[in-house]
């Protein structure tokens, strides 16, 4: 028919694959030149058999969305992405129902190969994922003490500031514990710095496992450690410090044997800033040192 030839000549000008399927039988009634060159001539065959080697209508077929209950074209178009397993390519599909010149209701599909675009998108997604992991690693490196794996001094200061900011009057207590390994210089002098490092790592691991969830342990510097205690008042923080002191004293630290720690404990007061809080906890710690070490003092 002349009308069919006119439709077909227009479709042949389009550089993307187009095929037309009889809505009633699912048989291919036409495919344009681009489609024919890529997939071959399948006119007269059911589309799901010829293109996808399926015995029944494809799950992604949009025909029911394109026709009225009476079986007529509803004027709607569907656009979606589809991976064709027969040629391992991605396509952006545009499908629509129409009346073919011979009066049949058909569904035509235009498939634009977007495989290169999908590959680029996947590469970008992988690059973004790698960048995100790199950023996480940079954050970890910038906030972690490399020897002990605890929060480093800079991150510990940030936690202290957050704890002070979260304290609202007396309603939400905030306490700080500072501990120091007793006679740590003697350990380094007697056994060497590698042994001293091993003691620091062992103590850090013990603190990490023993400190309750919600509290944070940081290495303040050298053999000094801080425990940020949001939600704990002075009495509760003292009990925690005393339990840690006893646990440390009864734990052998490798070649160095048993070590002890001295503790200072303070509770933030209204109006405290970071300098005042650290000054008080440092004073409490050195009071514990002056009184014989291996003890907990408050300030």
Burial label for 133, CB within 10 Å (0-12, 13-18, 19+), is exposed
* Catalytic site includes residue 65: no
Q: Name the pLDDT band for 266 (thresholds 50, 70, 90).
A: very high
pLDDT at 234: 95
Class of the 2-115 domain? alpha beta
pLDDT beyond 90 at 252 = no
| Minimum mean pLDDT range among 63-67, 83-87, 178-182, 265-269 | 83-87
Residues of the chain with CATH 3.30.450.20: 2-115
pLDDT of residue 140: 66
Average pLDDT over every residue of 280-299: 95
Give the span between the Cα atoms of 174 and 237, in whole angstroms.
Answer: 9
CA separation for the pair 160, 28 (Å, rounded) = 72
Q: How far does the chain reach from its first CA to its final CA, in angstroms?
A: 101
Q: What is the pLDDT of residue 129?
A: 80
pLDDT of residue 245: 96
- On whether the CB atoms of residues 195 and 187 are closer than 8 A, the answer is yes
Least confident of 50-54, 198-202, 221-225: 50-54
- Whether 113 and 91 have beta carbons less than 8 Å apart is answered as yes
DSSP label of 255: G
| Active-site hit among 8, 55, 85, 223 | 223
Task: Give pLDDT, residue 196.
Answer: 86
Architecture of domain 142-298: 2-Layer Sandwich (3.30)
Cα–Cα distance measured from residue 265 to residue 282, given in angstroms and rounded to the nearest whole number: 9
pTM, 2 dp: 0.59
> DSSP per residue over 80-133, as a string?
EEEEETTTTEEEEEEEEEEE-TTS-EEEEEEEEE-HHHHHHHHHHHHHHHHHHH
User: For residue 260, what pLDDT is reported?
Assistant: 93
Of 61-65, 186-190, 253-257, 274-278, which gets the smallest average pLDDT?
A: 253-257
Give every CB contact of residue 36 below 8 A, 6+ residues apart in sequence: none
Kindly state the average pLDDT of the residues 100-117.
89
Q: Average pLDDT, stretch 25-37?
A: 88
Query: Taking residues 57-75, what's their average pLDDT?
Result: 88
| In the chain, ranges of CATH 3.30.70.270 domains | 142-298
Q: How far is CA 124 from CA 83, 115, 128, 129, in A?
A: 19, 14, 6, 8
Q: Are strands 296-298 and 17-22 parallel, antiparallel or unpaired?
A: unpaired
| Token digits of residue 189 | 């002098």
Q: Using pLDDT thresholds of 50, 70 and 90, give the confidence band for residue 12.
A: confident
pLDDT exceeds 60 at position 4: no
> What's the pLDDT band for 2 if we cut at 50, 70, 90?
very low
Q: Is 141 a residue whose pLDDT tops 70?
A: no
Cβ neighbours around 140 below 10 Å, total: 10
Residues 238, 125 contacting (CB under 8 angstroms): no
pLDDT (average), residues 54-61: 81
């Amino acid at each position: 028919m002349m009308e069919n030839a006119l439709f077909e000549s227009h479709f042949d000008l389009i550089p993307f694959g187009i095929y037309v399927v009889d809505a009633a039988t699912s048989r291919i009634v036409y495919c344009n030149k681009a489609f024919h060159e890529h997939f071959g001539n399948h006119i007269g065959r059911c589309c799901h058999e010829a293109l996808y080697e399926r015995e029944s209508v494809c799950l992604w077929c949009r025909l029911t969305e394109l026709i009225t209950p009476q079986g007529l074209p509803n004027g709607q178009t569907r656009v979606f992405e589809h991976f064709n397993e027969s040629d391992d390519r991605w396509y952006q599909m545009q499908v629509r129902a129409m009346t073919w010149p011979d009066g049949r209701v058909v569904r035509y599909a235009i498939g634009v190969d977007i495989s290169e675009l999908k590959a680029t998108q996947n590469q970008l997604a992988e690059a973004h994922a790698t960048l995100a992991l790199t950023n996480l690693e940079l954050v970890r490196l910038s906030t972690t003490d490399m020897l002990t794996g605890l929060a480093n001094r800079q991150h510990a200061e940030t936690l202290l500031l957050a704890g002070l900011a979260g304290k609202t009057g007396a309603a939400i207590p905030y306490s700080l514990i500072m501990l120091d390994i007793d006679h740590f210089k003697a350990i380094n002098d007697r056994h060497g710095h590698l042994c001293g490092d091993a003691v620091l790592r062992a103590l850090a691991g013990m603190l990490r496992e023993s400190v309750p969830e919600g509290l944070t342990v940081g290495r303040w510097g050298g053999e000094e450690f801080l425990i940020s205690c949001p939600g704990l008042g002075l009495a509760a923080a003292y009990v925690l410090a005393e339990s840690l002191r006893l646990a440390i004293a009864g734990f052998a630290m490798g070649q160095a044997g048993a070590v002890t720690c001295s503790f200072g404990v303070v509770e933030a007061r209204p109006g405290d800033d970071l300098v005042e809080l650290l000054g008080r906890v440092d004073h409490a710690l050195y009071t514990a040192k002056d009184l014989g070490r291996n003890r907990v003092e408050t300030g």
